[in-house]
Structure 1
């Protein structure tokens, strides 16, 4: 699909800011370029929001908050359900646009549309299940009533690697709970979110409930909005360094915060594992989104008795993948997001080899246009190697060995991060012990895919806090009010 065909989903006047239901240019008229990471060509230009625009967006969210909070839950849920239907009807077109600006293969982009849309369907159903509590006080004489209320206007900051799903994971529970919002998409990938905003408007979301401010001036937007005491909630998906800064900025206003930050996921393969299933799971956990995912398997810890066979099988599968432009037929692996990402990934590989690792397949960047890195498998990787300490964010699988269960768990936990982990074993007792021992918010047991709209997604330690999805997801957008009701005894 050509640039022109993919962009038909986003009219020229929608390549702008959405504030109070109106598509408008930035306050200073600035625009920035969105490029195709497969060849560096310019896809289009988008309005570049200012701090003034951010304040205008918050003004609109604040103005819309009382009316939206008072909207019956069923009506809020029906908006989400209509948005789900519209998004699925246009899945191919949205996927093509996403592939164009982000680089992922079309099949993966379609998968993201389906996954992202599922948050609309899930929270459409949760909107009518917000409930409180009625109980008698233990000492008698009074009743305890609790009620749930929307937290209020929110700021959402979403990343480039999943430009649709990372938005729907935040928008859907906020809409269901009765919150309004200002959303800043990543400057590398704003187009998918602008299309999504148009779909939500078409589904009946009132003006001002969702305001979208694309910008390259990220710090101006976040500092301006977090300094405003009308903002009550911040949800961010991205790097731990930026997350820490946003948490610091939330302190003066005591804003509620949800942080989904970096990861360093271990992939444990025990000696009794089904190796066919483990290799299949490794391909999913490692190669989803070219490895540019916070849930990506980052460290492969494999029992020494099966490490050689596992490594050779994985290398064969990885080496057979086709690298190319995401929108081309037969492509398995698209480009990384930019040249800096290529430099980071190849630098980690080179350093690991210098530390004594052996390269089984891949290891190099493609020459010429685009930001491509070959799918790579390394074995005999030193535990202390930097590739085992840092998030790779690319198609590289470093394999190290272990001897005992306790060693495997200890090494898996030897990281500041705690988002996702993966375990392959056929021993039920071991699976329970290991899952309980791993200091991670999510554990994939004999599966390489943990993401599910019906499950609580999130981590611990430097991977952040708060949960998105599941029954827990809507609680991030609700406050609890307790009402004491004296009930004197009858005469």
Structure 2
């Protein structure tokens, strides 16, 4: 059932259609209590039975928690009295229509229905944003003169505002991407908040060093902001990736022109409203929704942009690196595709390995660059591992992102759904054994069934190409030497995993794997303190951690001749 969503979803000046129908969800006054919420839920137009309502479940679980604080959590998200027009272009802390007058539509992938129209930025809008960013970065500007500790305070304030509005942002993220609400709230929102706070803490701790040099010289280094940074965010984790990009750039004192993915622009645009509310000077952050071949290409080739950071496909990453080289040789950070191996040895904790392998590929509907889709299982446990993996995949619940029992939502778009189904068919054609799934469920939305293949060979397309969907490929191996060679036999090198109880084996294999991140007896254990990036065609540079900060600074050496005056 669909309906007009009046209050809970809407901070933008548009009408949204969604699979949840909270026509009557409104709470007035400064005092918010559980009674208000339960009354409202009783009045809402429900699309699932009350006992399966995601919001009732969510509130009851929060009530049980020792951290229950209704006013802090719900005052901002439910009393929607500010922050309008987050479907426009954000430049100089103001909302603008596109120069061309064009708009594009964003859709709810769980229903296929239109959410709203968004202003479509192109080269002319990029020019305006770059001009604003350059002005904000100019010598003598408020931003350039601001103390580093004050930059950190603004980032801490931004994190607090995201936390205040976390229920709303999680709802918007689930509408725009199709991911389950519980995942949006407990994974994406918490990751976003932690990332902003982590880089806020670094703002006044970025420093150079003094260097002892020969002769009567005093030498020091300074780590200075690069300048205007172009940033292009993917559609699979739009909110988290916005934090990964903005956090280090702003901590170091840069200004930003950021483009969200055209499929999922809404939460990124909402961050623009919070940027202004937090007190960042005009022009420091500019957000331009638009298409890659127009707005994205203009960012990559713009002579007024000093660095570009991109997360997305390897194919597009190559185009961005080429454009950066042909323009002003701007600095480039690329986090690209992956085809990550997950190696399961016979001595592994079997239950742990099955569940972690399942989550490692099916999390976020398989739409993760780190997805462990190539699962190598040692021969003695191969058959049992396949059987248990199929059982687990068949139990995986697929459906409404706002149903608390849902583990998997849709693919982000009809195009992505079609690509996943085409690759599944290629696996069948090339001789892999389809154990379960393989089809689109008979419902509206861009869903794909959890799919498991066994007897997969290394030459097959499903073993070589990044699928970006809920497709698990299980392969057999006999020796350590064999599995290391096969695991590394790919153009990608983003992530990998090893499951074993033998510490020596774990360290030997992890050292041999050509991947930027290797997990041992876990999967997707990411942290904002740890650098993240890939080997080979999975990109260059690193995000997160102290190393991620260095991607946003230039190192300057200053040498001064000492007077050598005799005393």
Instruction: Indicate the TM-score class for this superposition, using the shorter chain for normalisation.
Output: over 0.9
Within-5 A mapping of 1:177-192: 177-192=252-267
Cα pair 2:222 2:556 within 8 Å, conserved: yes
Gaps of 5+ in 2: 15-84
Deviation at 1:261, TM superposition (A): 0.5
Q: Out of 10, 17, 27, which is 2:12 matched to?
A: 10
3-state SS of 2:168 partner: helix
Within-5 A mapping of 1:79-158: 79-110=154-185, 111-137=187-213, 139-158=214-233
3-state SS of 2:380 partner: coil
Q: Out of 107, 127, 139, which is 1:35 matched to?
A: 107
Deviations 1:328-367 (A, max 9, x none): 3321110001222222222222222233322222121112
Q: Out of 329, 333, 340, which is 2:404 matched to?
A: 329
3-state SS of 2:439 partner: coil
Deviations 1:400-440 (A, max 9, x none): 01111111111110100010111111111111111111111
Structure 1: how far apart are the matches of 2:304 and 2:126? 13
Aligned residue in 2 for 1:52: 124
TM-score of the pair, normalised by structure 2: 0.84
Deviations 1:216-272 (A, max 9, x none): 3x2222343444322100000001111100100001301000000011011110111
Cα pair 2:106 2:262 within 8 Å, conserved: yes
Deviation at 1:490, TM superposition (A): 5.3
Deviations 1:138-196 (A, max 9, x none): x3422220001100001111111101011110001011000001111111111010111
Q: 1:277 to 1:176 in 2, by over 3 A?
A: same
Task: Report whether the alignment pairs 1:271 with 2:273.
Answer: no
Task: Report whether the alignment pairs 1:452 with 2:527.
Answer: yes
Structure 2: how far apart are the matches of 1:186 and 1:41? 18
Aligned residue in 2 for 1:210: 285
Aligned residue in 1 for 2:423: 348
Deviations 1:70-115 (A, max 9, x none): 3111111111111111111221111110110110001111111111
Q: 1:297 to 1:200 in 2, by over 3 A?
A: same
Q: 1:223 to 1:372 in 2, by over 3 A?
A: closer
Aligned residue in 2 for 1:370: 445
Cα pair 2:360 2:372 within 8 Å, conserved: yes
Deviation at 1:282, TM superposition (A): 1.2
Deviation at 1:488, TM superposition (A): 5.1
Cα pair 2:86 2:266 within 8 Å, conserved: no
Q: Out of 221, 244, 255, which is 2:318 matched to?
A: 244
Structure 2: how far apart are the matches of 1:416 and 1:323? 32
Cα pair 2:182 2:404 within 8 Å, conserved: no
Larger radius of gyration: 2
Structure 2: how far apart are the matches of 1:125 and 1:34? 35
3-state SS of 2:551 partner: helix
Aligned residue in 1 for 2:481: 406
Gaps of 5+ in 1: none
3-state SS of 1:479 partner: strand
Aligned residue in 2 for 1:361: 436
Cα pair 2:263 2:413 within 8 Å, conserved: no
Q: More relative contact order in 1 or in 2 (CA 8 Å, sep 6+)?
A: 1
Q: 1:440 to 1:2 in 2, by over 3 A?
A: farther
Structure 2: how far apart are the matches of 1:30 and 1:42? 17
Structure 1: how far apart are the matches of 2:4 and 2:184? 16
CA RMSD of aligned residues (A): 1.5
Cα pair 2:122 2:298 within 8 Å, conserved: no
